[in-house]
Structure 1
Amino acid sequence: MDTKEPGYFIDYHAFIGSDENKVFKATLAQSENILLGVHCFTTGQSQPIHIHVGEDKFYFVLEGSGYFQVGDEFHNAGPGMLVWAPSSLPHSVTNNNAEPLIVLIGIAPSPGH
């Protein structure tokens, strides 16, 4: 993840980017308790199914829409939707639309702490 030095008031727009080879990720804020970031998916990009042992994760859709899996549930989610993936529950996301998918992510506690 790219890391910039934000203050206490953060505009996610300053962290939006793209990478044709992989999902673009930028860290907005991080402490030992939580990691907050922005993930930007171009059309067709996905984050394969994975788990976080001992860490809860959420995706909050800011722009665009995508196809999410959490456990055995699958759902399209658009702006304003929260997708919750408790610790050890498999989850994934795919941008199956023409416009970019931009999500706020949170992981707690912060990975690596």
Structure 2
Amino acid sequence: MQVTTIEKMKSFSPEKMKKINLFDTKNLFCDLYCFEPGQAQKPHAHEGEDKVYYVLEGEGSFRVGAEEQTVKAHSAVLAPAGVDHGVTNRSSQRLVVLVLMAPKPHHH
């Protein structure tokens, strides 16, 4: 059984958002995205993969398609395949997001 402790995996960088891989299988990947205040993941899309963002700590501004919404801890956001999506930490606190994507993209 693979078990990972999120608290021990969290890591932040003053330069840019940190992506920390938690699980990586042939079917999916699960990452931790750690944002300092003001950091962002620029909008992008994945043609064949749906993505779920789950906010663990803080709050972020999530964009999916033309919609943008502030989402707080303990809430999840779905970014369907082929739709532009991104995250910005506009708060003064750190933002930690659990990210699941399946099927696993070929480039990851």
Q: Could you say what secondary structure the match of 1:13 adopts?
A: helix
Determine which of 15, 22, 45 is the counterpart of 1:21.
15
Q: Could you say what secondary structure the match of 1:14 adopts?
A: helix
TM-score normalised over the length of structure 1: 0.90
Q: Could you say what secondary structure the match of 1:43 adopts?
A: coil
Q: Percent identity, aligned pairs only?
A: 36
Instruction: Give the aligned CA root-mean-square deviation in angstroms.
Output: 1.1
Asked whether 1:84 is paired with 2:78, we answer yes
Counterpart Cα distance in 2 of 1:9 and 1:101: 22
Where does structure 1 differ by over 3 angstroms across 4 or more consecutive aligned residues?
A: none
TM-score normalised over the length of structure 2: 0.94
Structure-2 residue corresponding to 1:112: 106
| Count of aligned positions | 107
Q: CA deviation at 1:60?
A: 0.1
Q: CA deviation at 1:19?
A: 1.0
Counterpart Cα distance in 1 of 2:31 and 2:6: 9
Counterpart Cα distance in 2 of 1:59 and 1:11: 18
List runs of 5+ in structure 1 lacking aligned partners. Answer: 1-6
